[in-house]
């Protein structure tokens, strides 16, 4: 039986190493079902959703985070929103993207291609969001997130993300981890961490074997005796609702809505993040702009 979706935060006794691990199988498969993604697109979206959750868990309670990969590969792009409460949503621009297997794995890097990664942190106390734009280094998602953490947050990090897709296109396993070193860490600790990460089995394999986030943590931080400081259920959650849809239609303006009434008689709006459809009938459209 596969473990339930969960994110775990931990630290070593001297606080010089912190780690976050997550199992995300159910929510990644939910995203696959919502967007009807092909295997390579599912792997790309699943890795990005897991990365968003791991980064979101590092935020303060009222912060939000967005990841946007824009590349020249056939996938074209990925957009993910996450917060500190274990909630995430996201989509890929071309959901039916699928490439031949490369080196025994789904070719996520080839699907994403070269381009930019934009990370946006929204903080209620700040007038403008914090925005970091970096070149995509591999398109494999994990190494790009590590590159962001090192160059924009100045935190050396090891990042591993994995998604295993079945022949029937369902997601059988998904998860990831981030291990970070803090100021004051010893060279011996760094060397041991590097050895552990290099020898660690793929996250998707661990999850397929039934490993929980705590067991993944023990595997990656073998010899460090990490202490779990928090556990956080994770889920695919979208903030869309009918009121937001009506607001979008009002923003289109009276003339555009009048044209829709003439040509369609009703409007169907699909949320890009979750795939939910909202149908607005003629009578409701007419009330948006009373005479």
- pLDDT beyond 80 at 140: yes
User: Cβ(236)–Cβ(45) under 8 Å?
Assistant: no
- pLDDT beyond 90 at 256: no
Q: pLDDT band for 163, please (50, 70, 90 cuts).
A: very high
- pLDDT beyond 80 at 279: yes
Q: pLDDT band for 174, please (50, 70, 90 cuts).
A: very high
User: Which pair of structure tokens corresponds to residue 10?
Assistant: 């931990």
pTM of full prediction above 0.85: yes
User: Cβ(86)–Cβ(234) under 8 Å?
Assistant: yes
Give the angle 125-156-224 at the CA atoms, nearest 5°. 110
User: Which pair of structure tokens corresponds to residue 166?
Assistant: 């079945």
Q: pLDDT band for 1, please (50, 70, 90 cuts).
A: low
Q: At a CB cut-off of 8 Å and minimum separation 6, what does 220 contact?
A: 19, 21, 177, 179, 196, 197, 200
Homologous superfamily (CATH) of 242-288 is HSP33 redox switch-like (3.90.1280.10)
Task: Give the domain ranges of the chain.
Answer: 6-236, 242-288
CA 104 distance to own-chain centroid: 23
CATH of segment(s) 6-236: 3.55.30.10
Predicted confidence (pLDDT) per residue in 182-236, tens digit: 998 999 999 999 999 999 999 999 999 999 999 999 999 999 989 999 999 999 9
**Distance between CA atoms of residues 261 and 278, nearest Å:** 16
User: Which pair of structure tokens corresponds to residue 285?
Assistant: 């459209």
User: Which pair of structure tokens corresponds to residue 90?
Assistant: 């996201």
User: Which pair of structure tokens corresponds to residue 167?
Assistant: 């022949």
């Amino acid at each position: 039986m596969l473990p339930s979706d969960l994110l775990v935060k931990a630290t070593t006794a001297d606080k010089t190493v912190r780690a976050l691990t997550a199992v995300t199988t159910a929510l990644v498969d939910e995203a696959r079902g919502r967007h009807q993604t092909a295997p390579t697109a599912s792997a790309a979206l699943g890795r990005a959703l897991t990365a968003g959750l791991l980064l979101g868990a590092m935020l303060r309670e009222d912060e939000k985070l967005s990841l946007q990969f824009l590349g020249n590969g056939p996938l074209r792009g990925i957009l993910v929103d996450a917060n500190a409460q274990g909630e995430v949503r996201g989509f890929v621009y071309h959901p039916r993207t699928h490439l031949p297997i490369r080196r025994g794995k789904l070719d996520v890097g080839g699907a994403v291609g070269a381009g930019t990664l934009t990370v946006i942190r929204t903080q209620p106390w700040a007038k403008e969001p914090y925005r970091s734009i970096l070149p995509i280094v591999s398109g494999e998602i994990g190494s790009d997130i590590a590159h962001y953490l090192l160059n924009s947050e100045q935190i050396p990090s090891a990042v591993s993300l994995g998604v295993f897709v079945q022949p029937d296109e369902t997601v059988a396993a998904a998860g990831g981890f981030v291990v970070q070193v803090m100021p004051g860490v010893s060279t011996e600790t760094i060397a041991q961490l590097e050895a552990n990460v290099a020898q660690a089995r793929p996250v998707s394999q661990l999850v397929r074997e039934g490993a929980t986030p705590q067991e993944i943590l023990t595997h990656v931080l073998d010899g460090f005796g990490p202490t779990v400081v928090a556990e956080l259920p994770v889920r695919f959650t979208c903030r869309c609702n009918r009121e937001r849809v009506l607001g979008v239609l009002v923003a289109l303006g009276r003339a555009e809505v009048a044209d829709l009434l003439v040509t369609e008689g009703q409007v169907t709006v699909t949320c890009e993040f979750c795939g939910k459809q909202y149908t607005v009938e003629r009578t409701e459209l007419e009330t948006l702009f009373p005479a």
